[in-house]
Amino acid sequence: MFAGARSESEFNVSEKSIIIIGAGLAGLATGCYARMNGYRATILEHHSDPGGVAKAWKHDDYLIDGGIHYLMGHRPGAACYEIYRELGVFHNRTYPDLTNYCDFTDEISGQRVSFVNDLEKLSRDLKALAPEDAAAIDDFMAGVRSFQRTDMFGMMETPVELAGVFGPLKQLWHLRRSLRYLGGAYNLPNKEFSERFKNPALRRLLTHLFLPEVPMWFNLLMLSLLANRQMGLLARSCHDFVDSLVERFNGLGGEICYNSTVKEIIVENNRAVGVRLENGTERRADVIVSAGDGTNTIFKLLGGRYVSNAIQDRYKNWKQLRPLVTLSFGVRRDFAGESPLRFLLLKEKMTVGNETIDGFPIRIFNYGDKFAPAGRTVFQVLFITDWKYWKDLLQDRPRYEAEKKRVCAEALARLEPHYPGITSQVELTDIATPHTTWRFTLNNEGAFMGWAPTPKALRTIFRKTLPGLENFYMAGQWVVPGGGVPPCFYSGRHVIQILCKRDGKKFSTSVLD
């Protein structure tokens, strides 16, 4: 039973109605908070399943998980732990701790380094790899420790639209222990910051600690969460995680309509009043929230009529995260003792689409019994790639399929020296290209998240409304740069907080008993 939850019959029929476009994480969160606050909420989902990019699917005896890598702030003490309680993700579920952020193997130097949650051990291992960088490593580790005392997600509890004139000052105070590391050299992208180190192996490793575009302080934050035991694994898959949100939304009396692709947001007198579906059906509501792709929302569903110069510049010139080719292998092997996250730094570069890559991440799903039969494992390789290449290639289906097979064969050839015999142990192959992501989500150019988390993007304030358009809001990856689970959840919460303020009602939440 959810404490504080109200059944459908308890809601006044005169309460305002909300249509939410998209049943991804942000859309489901928006719907849950809408119901908690007395709004009638309907989610319209393009696909036949919820989750958006948090997607998992069955392929023979294997469950292929193409979504969330880990859950940040899954233990008491973190600000986002409370939002998880409100959204029901702990209901009959647990999330084991991630203790090793990533194992790096460098083919050039022959070195292997594990980014574990023991910071003393991590410091010793990095200095053993690069003794000439000992002083810089000490400063790096001091930065990680400073973020251990800073809950970054705590700053997201109040939307910027409601923060008031003292909001920025409150944020500075909240960040006081880590301010030194949020500017200067630590605000440089990974690739640029890494050039400050003398050891070439350490430079390569730090470049790929997260996405090369992110500022180095973002890595300090991630490692601090790891050290605080605030990173959890989705041992029952991201499909189960999404199910927890759907259960919560349904329990609150919400409605989800699948296979309901929105073609147009209906606007009358500069007020969003409803949507028109691809099948011609119209649905009306007092408020429209788009929790889908930003480009599709602003320039297709709304025809580009409600934009500022800043929005135009953002969508024209800013980088979005490049799409992925995801190779998932069902392997007759248990990979016991292996870290679930690895990164292979290549001695010889390889090409995927039009991208030349010097390394790639690996996911080994050996931490739960839902992914594969006993003694078998889903082994996944992810390649950054190019949307246009795969889109053009799809026009010639035989070439498209041949290229997928080529990439798989080369990936296994690169893995064989590190996992002898893996090629002969593969009994299933599943390949998802950027077109696959687009087909499931309608995300622009098959993006798996929104904006590239560059220093500029992470420091930009995004509002959840569009200029000149009333009764319309946005939630999700395109209004919270950096992406990930907590920001998506908070974005949906923010929309309802803003709406409650506008409607003169107190924002309220409920949690599990």
Residues 346-384 pLDDT 10s: 999 999 988 899 999 999 999 999 999 999 999 999 999
Give the angle subtended at the CA of 22 by the CAs of 453 and 62, to the nearest 5°: 80
pLDDT > 90? residue 94: yes
Mean per-residue pLDDT for 187-201?
A: 95
pLDDT given at position 3: 44
96 falls within a domain: no
Q: Which of 71-80, 185-194, 331-340, 444-453 shows the lowest per-residue confidence on average (mean pLDDT)? A: 444-453
Least confident segment among 210-214, 226-230, 476-480, 507-511: 210-214
- Are 275 and 291 part of one and the same domain? yes
Q: Are residue 178 and residue 133 in the same domain, yes or no?
A: yes
Q: What is the pLDDT of residue 167?
A: 79
Given 403, 419, 441, which residue is the final one in a domain?
Answer: 441
Q: Which band of pLDDT confidence, cut at 50, 70 and 90, is reported for residue 4? A: very low
Instruction: Tabulate helix, strand, coil % of the chain (nearest 5).
Output: 40, 25, 40
Containing domain of residue 333, as a range?
A: 324-441
Q: For residue 81, is it within any domain?
A: no
**pLDDT band at residue 6 using 50, 70 and 90 as cut-offs:** very low
Q: Which range, of 399-413, 425-439, 445-459, 490-504, averages the lowest pLDDT? A: 445-459
pLDDT for residue 287 is more than 50: yes
Residue 83 within any structural domain of the chain: no
Q: What value does the mean pLDDT take over residues 91-103?
A: 95
User: Would the pLDDT of 412 be above 90?
Assistant: yes
Task: Using the CB atoms, write b or e for 147-176: b if 16+ within 10 Å.
Answer: bbebbbbebbbbbbbebeeeeeeeeeeebe
Quick: pLDDT tens for 205-253.
999 998 888 899 999 999 999 999 999 999 999 999 999 999 999 999 9
- Torsion, CA 330, CA 331, CA 332, CA 333, rounded to 10: -130
Report, as an integer, the average pLDDT of 10-32: 86
pLDDT at 212: 83
304 with 376, same domain: the answer is no
Q: What's the mean pLDDT when you consider all of the chain?
A: 93
Higher pLDDT, 105 or 455: 105
Taking each helix axis as running N to C, give the angle between helix 119-129 and helix 216-227, from 0 to 180 degrees, rounded to the nearest 10: 130
The backbone torsions φ and ψ at residue 30, rounded to the nearest 5 degrees and listed phi first, read -60, -45
Mean pLDDT (whole number) for 39-53: 95
> 315 and 242, same structural domain?
yes
Same domain, 213 and 272: no
Output the pLDDT for position 381.
98
Decide if 78 is inside a domain.
no
pLDDT value of position 432: 94
Average pLDDT estimate for 452-480? 92
CB atoms closer than 10 angstroms to residue 124: 12
DSSP string, 93-146: ---PBP-EEEEEEETTT--EEEEES-HHHHHHHHHHH-GGGHHHHHHHHHHHHH
Q: Which of 228, 248, 279 is the last residue of a domain?
A: 228
Residue 67 lies in a domain: no
Count of domains for the chain: 3
Q: Where residue 256 sits, what CATH number does that domain have?
A: 3.50.50.60
State the virtual CA torsion across 23, 434, 482, 341 in degrees, nearest 10.
Answer: 100
**Same domain flag for 476 and 414:** no
Q: Are residues 259 and 330 in the same domain?
A: no
How does pLDDT run across 139-152, given as a tens digit for each residue? 999 999 999 999 98
d(CA 296, CA 320): 14
Percent of the chain at pLDDT exceeding 90: 81
Let me know if residue 260 belongs to a domain. Answer: yes
Instruction: Specify whether 370 is located in the same domain as 277.
Output: no
Q: Distance between the two ends of the chain, CA-based, in angstroms?
A: 6
> Are 477 and 425 part of one and the same domain?
no
Residue 100 has pLDDT above 80, yes or no: yes
Lowest mean pLDDT among 3-12, 419-428, 485-494: 3-12
Domain shared by 304 and 366, yes or no:
no
Asked if residue 69 belongs to a domain, the reply is no
**181 is a domain residue:** yes
At residue 513 the predicted structure's pLDDT band, cuts being 50, 70 and 90, is: low
Residue 93, pLDDT score: 93
Residue 83 CA to residue 153 CA, distance in Å, equals 10
Residues 205 and 132 in one domain: yes
pLDDT digits (tens, 9 = 90+) for 167-184: 778 887 888 888 899 989
User: Is the model's pLDDT at 12 over the cut of 60?
Assistant: no
Out of 208, 228, 248, a domain closes at 228
Q: Are strands 56-59 and 282-284 parallel, antiparallel or unpaired?
A: unpaired
Q: What is the pTM of this model?
A: 0.94
Same domain, 345 and 423: yes
Q: Confidence class of residue 155 from pLDDT cuts 50, 70 and 90?
A: confident
369: helix, strand or coil: coil
pLDDT exceeds cutoff 70 at 11: no
